[in-house]
């Protein structure tokens, strides 16, 4: 195996990413709820009855898989697909910032042992910064000019969320989800044919 490839799926990466991102966001927001919305559940009549008058902000997270190879098993590659950049542009129109996260773990055991986590903004700058849409990480030293979009501190994360989010109600959140799905159904490449983010509701 020479080419870097994944040894886990996005859902496995989520188990490391979501609790830590929630912990950080709780330092600024009183309520932080990660959801994977279904129109028939989070968008249902009972959800609107319960939350129809609530105001909240939204952050979208794409879990990314660490990729490794047999040539240099300590080097981790993280792929930011062009589809994710396109999705972030739609999100910006709705006041929903998009970011990606990846556990910097090279095997199952380091994945479960509180690995360092990589966080990055997803926006139009990614097109210029990430050659071949890849970021390489080698022993915690980043290669290339990618610092503008890396969220390496909590302060940068909070600023990214504050600057990019607009206050929403449940109706406008569901409208945004429908817009994402409209683009997905009309463009077979959109969201990579199946990539879906986790949304954090902030109140």
For 65-89, what is the mean pLDDT?
A: 85
**148 within a domain of the structure (yes/no):** yes
Residue 31 · residue 202 · CB < 8 Å: yes
CA distance 177 to 35: 12
Residues of the domain holding 190: 5-167+180-202
The tokens of 150 are what?
Answer: 């890396």
pLDDT at 131 over 60: no
**87 within a domain of the structure (yes/no):** yes
Which residue in this structure is represented by tokens 């006041």? 95
**174 within a domain of the structure (yes/no):** no
**187 within a domain of the structure (yes/no):** yes
What is the per-residue pLDDT for 133?
41
**133 within a domain of the structure (yes/no):** yes
**188 within a domain of the structure (yes/no):** yes
Domain count, the chain: 1
Whole-structure pTM value: 0.88
**172 within a domain of the structure (yes/no):** no
For 114-130, what is the mean pLDDT?
A: 77
**175 within a domain of the structure (yes/no):** no
194 in the Ramachandran plot: left (φ > 0), alpha (ψ -120 to 50) or beta?
left
Q: Which tens digit of pLDDT belongs to each residue from 15-72?
A: 999 999 999 999 999 999 999 998 899 989 999 999 999 999 999 999 999 988 888 7
Backbone angles phi, psi at 25, to 5 degrees: -65, -30
């Amino acid at each position: 195996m020479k080419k870097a490839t994944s040894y886990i799926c996005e859902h496995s990466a989520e188990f490391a990413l979501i609790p830590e991102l929630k912990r950080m966001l709780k330092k600024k927001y009183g309520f932080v709820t990660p959801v994977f919305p279904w129109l028939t559940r989070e968008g249902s009549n009972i959800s609107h009855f319960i939350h129809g008058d609530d105001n909240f902000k939204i952050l979208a997270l794409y879990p990314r898989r660490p990729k490794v190879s047999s040539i240099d098993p300590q080097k981790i590659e993280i792929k930011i697909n062009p589809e994710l950049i396109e999705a972030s542009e739609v999100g910006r129109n709705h006041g929903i910032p998009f970011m990606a996260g990846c556990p910097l773990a090279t095997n199952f055991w380091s994945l479960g042992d509180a690995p360092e986590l990589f966080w990055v903004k997803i926006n139009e700058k990614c097109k210029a910064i990430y050659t071949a849409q890849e970021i390489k990480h080698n022993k915690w030293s980043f290669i290339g000019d990618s610092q503008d979009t890396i969220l390496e501190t909590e302060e940068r994360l909070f600023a990214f969320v504050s600057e990019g989010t607009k206050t929403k109600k449940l109706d406008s959140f569901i409208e945004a989800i429908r817009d994402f799905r409209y683009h997905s159904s009309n463009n077979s490449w959109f969201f990579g044919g199946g990539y879906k983010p986790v949304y954090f509701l902030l109140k």
